[in-house]
């Protein structure tokens, strides 16, 4: 069994996979196969990161829908991520993904440096499925086509993804708390938008 000192952090694992890939483009299916047993957490992190900044309405769903799909599969207990063909075969520019991850790497490193296995009751199989359900709910918030609904839920989803990878129960608690704040913000934005539409008509 690989020791903790030899275990690559999620950011290193993903960046190394992309940097060592021989082609200019890479598909999500290829990334998933290369990541092995840690594929779920790392792929969810990959799709959460682009929404960790406020995005124009409509862009949220580009990464939010795949995040929802993978979280739902983890919630159901699948051992390996499955992708429908429209996602599995979609090609991404390897250089673009590397730039995105390199921009996020300093903050990821700070979070990962603090991570360690703890609060084991938060990272068992049942807890993992419950966290995956929570990420499904966060994904729905991310997908809402209104400005400002995506970034707090996405940050929470990214933290929860890292927590699952690193088996850090404390980070899961932090991600759950931040996610709750994000969901309440999304509800308030949606409620305000509906009220504005009702007032206009």
What the block records as the tokens of 162 is 């890292």
> Which helix (H) or strand (E) element contains residue 92?
strand 91-93
Per-domain residue ranges of the chain: 4-200
Lowest mean pLDDT among 1-15, 20-34, 57-71: 1-15
Q: Quote the pLDDT of residue 60.
A: 75
Q: Quote the pLDDT of residue 1.
A: 34
SS (H, E, C) 68-86: HHHHHHHHCCCCCCCCCHH
Q: Quote the pLDDT of residue 155.
A: 94
What the block records as the tokens of 185 is 């913000």
> 28-35 and 10-20 helices cross at what angle (nearest 10)?
120
pLDDT digits (tens, 9 = 90+) for 85-138: 767 677 888 888 888 888 888 888 888 888 989 998 888 888 999 999 999 999
Q: Quote the pLDDT of residue 32.
A: 79
The average pLDDT across 20-34 equals 84
Is the predicted pLDDT of residue 82 greater than 80, yes or no?
no
């Amino acid at each position: 069994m690989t020791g903790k000192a030899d275990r690559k952090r999620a950011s290193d694992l993903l960046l190394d996979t992309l940097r060592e890939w021989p082609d200019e483009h890479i598909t999500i299916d290829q990334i998933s196969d290369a990541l092995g047993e840690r594929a779920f957490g790392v792929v969810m992190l990959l799709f959460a990161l682009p929404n960790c900044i406020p995005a124009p309405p409509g862009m949220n769903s580009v990464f939010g829908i795949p995040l929802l799909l993978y979280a739902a599969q983890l919630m159901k207990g699948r051992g390996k991520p499955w992708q429908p063909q429209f996602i599995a075969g979609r090609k991404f520019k390897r250089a673009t993904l590397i730039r995105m991850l390199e921009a996020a790497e300093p903050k990821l490193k700070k979070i990962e440096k603090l991570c360690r296995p703890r609060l084991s009751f938060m990272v068992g199989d049942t807890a993992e499925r419950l966290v995956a359900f929570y990420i499904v709910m966060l994904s729905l918030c991310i997908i809402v086509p209104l400005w400002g609904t995506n970034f707090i839920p996405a940050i929470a989803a990214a933290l929860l993804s890292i927590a699952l990878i690193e088996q850090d129960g404390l980070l899961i608690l932090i991600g759950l708390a931040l996610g709750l704040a994000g969901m309440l913000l999304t509800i308030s934005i949606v409620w305000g938008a509906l009220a504005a539409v009702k007032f206009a008509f």
